[in-house]
Chains A and B, each alone.
Chain A
Amino acid sequence: DSGVTQTPKHLITATGQRVTLRCSPRSGDLSVYWYQQSLDQGLQFLIQYYNGEERAKGNILERFSAQQFPDLHSELNLSSLELGDSALYFCASSVEGTSRDEQFFGPGTRLTVL
């Protein structure tokens, strides 16, 4: 157990819908990262937050947005869902939010868009 929690574990929804994925970082970690892992694909970096502020952006679609709240938990919002958005979404956290810090991954949320 990494100490990073993600809810829900599984999510099944229809095209065009909107969902919210939630992540709670390890105690003491200030930075949260979001990754998308499609079937047989690698880990695609989406976005990073540090202490409530957006710090880095990757290949995140305009239909997706995220935020980090004062209590440091983070939410990833996915809207106008398409079949291709079906994937495993991981959240990771680290202490300072730089690459020298080990990133601890949560168990992931499996999103299925029908």
Chain B
Amino acid sequence: GENVEQHPSTLSVQEGDSAVIKCTYSDSASNYFPWYKQELGKRPQLIIDIRSNVGEKKDQRIAVTLNKTAKHFSLHITETQPEDSAVYFCAPSPYNTDKLIFGTGTRLQVFP
């Protein structure tokens, strides 16, 4: 089955710094790459996603980059703020598949 790993597992940054989380997957059929954010005690929410025909997508302070050859994609957060503190999950999936396989999660802490 699909093997999905995230690195690092925890990340601490100073407010205003950038944060990068990497997701590595094994299924070469994966062609949909979302990132979910889960704040403490709350539900996961989709924050950004990318399709395999696109190498990069940006939405304000967050961006996702994809390296399909190397089978990894990354979440980039610039100018981090304390409210970015959360656990982030990637969930690479083949397009039109019926389920999401979530990565192991990365706990991001942004210190003021």
A and B pair up: yes
Interface residues of A (CB under 8 A from B): 2, 33, 35, 41-45, 48, 50, 55-56, 58, 90, 97-100, 102-103, 105-108
Residues of A contacting B43 in the complex (Cβ-Cβ under 8 angstroms): 2, 90, 105-108
What is the bound-complex CA distance between A61 and B77, given in angstroms? Answer: 37
User: Which residues of A have CB within 8 Å of B32?
Assistant: 99-100
Q: Which 9 A-B pairs have the closest CB atoms?
A: A99-B93, A56-B98, A105-B43, A43-B102, A56-B99, A42-B105, A98-B96, A102-B46, A99-B97
* B79 → A minimal CB distance (Å): 25
**In which size bucket is the chain B interface?**
20 to 34
* Contact status of A45 and B102, CB under 8 A, knowing A99-B32, A99-B93, A100-B32: yes
Nearest B residue to A50 by beta-carbon distance?
B98
User: Which residue of A45, A48, A97, A100 is within 8 Å of B101 (Cβ)?
Assistant: A45
Q: Please, how many angstroms separate the alpha-carbon atoms of A58 and B101 in the complex?
A: 9
Q: Known: A2-B43, A102-B46. Is A55-B98 also a contact (CB below 8 A)?
A: yes
Q: How far is the CA of A97 from the CA of B97 in the complex (A)?
A: 8
Main secondary structure of the interface of A (DSSP, over half): loop
- Report how far A48 CA is from B100 CA in the complex, Å: 10
B89 at the interface (CB under 8 A from A): yes
Say whether B89 contacts A42, CB under 8 Å: yes
Residues of A within 8 A of B94 (CB): 99
A residues less than 8 Å from B18 (CB atoms): none
Chain B contacts with A in 16-58, Cβ cutoff 8 A: 32, 34, 42-46, 49
Give bound CA distance, A56 to B96, whole Å.
12
The complex places the Cα of A83 from the Cα of B44 at a distance, in Å, of: 25
Rounded to whole angstroms, the CA-CA distance of A58 and B100 in the bound complex is: 10
Task: Give the distance in Å from the alpha carbon of A103 to the alpha carbon of B32 in the complex.
Answer: 13
Q: How far is the CA of A42 from the CA of B9 in the complex (A)?
A: 11
Chain A: minimal CB distance from B46 (Å): 5
